[in-house]
Amino acid sequence: MKRMLGFVVSEYVTAIIIIAVSIAVVFGLHVSHQRDNMVESAEASIVTVKAFAAAAAASGNLIACDDSLVNVDVLENAFISLSIRPTPIDESNLEEGYGAGVYVHSNKEADGNDTFVTALRLHEAIKINDEDSLRMVNIAKENKKEKDIEYSILLSERAICSYPEQVTQI
């Protein structure tokens, strides 16, 4: 065995492998933390939109349930696209009307893994915290792996949307 500066070459290789694995673990934790922050940001946006919807419901007026309901900055998020759409109060009885809802859609191939995973994480967070607000959930799978997800999060319990023709069927 050849020694370089008092160490065997295999000792250098082992040290390099340990450093590389450590960097990979730290990077994975960093990305996971970023995604958690994006989900928290999206949840904060949802709370803000919910407040606007509650104010509209309190006024008794019907409103346009689209992105003009709030400032565009509220819906912006680095990893996930949020939009406002009319969402059925009761999916089994559309006669009850439509409330404001936040619509989320992500396709793994088109949007990339970060956006897709953030959409999945937001879905899981909403499912845990407020499952009753989830509407029109559609998770498409291919070879047992998710490839497309779309859902709406109902923000108002009263029918406040003025034109349900905007609702896109999934």
Mean pLDDT along residues 42-66 = 79
Q: What is the pLDDT of residue 170?
A: 40
Query: Over the Cα atoms of the chain, what is R_g?
Result: 23
The tokens of 96 are what?
Answer: 């009850």
For the chain, the average pLDDT equals 81
pTM (two decimals): 0.70
B/e letters for 71-103, b = 16+ CB within 10 Å, e = fewer, are eeebbebebbbbebbbbbbeeeeeeebbbbbbb
Are the beta carbons of 170 and 139 closer than 8 angstroms?
no
Checking phi first, is residue 60 left (phi over 0); if not, alpha (psi -120 to 50) or beta? left
Cβ atoms within 10 Å, residue 117: 21
Are the beta carbons of 106 and 115 closer than 8 angstroms?
yes
The answer, yes or no, to whether residue 31 has pLDDT greater than 80, is yes
Residues found in the chain: 170
Q: What is the DSSP letter of 5?
A: T
User: What are the pLDDT digits (tens) for 61-107?
Assistant: 777 788 877 777 777 777 778 888 888 888 888 888 888 888 888 88
- Break the chain into its structural domains and give their ranges: 3-166
Q: What is the DSSP letter of 69?
A: G
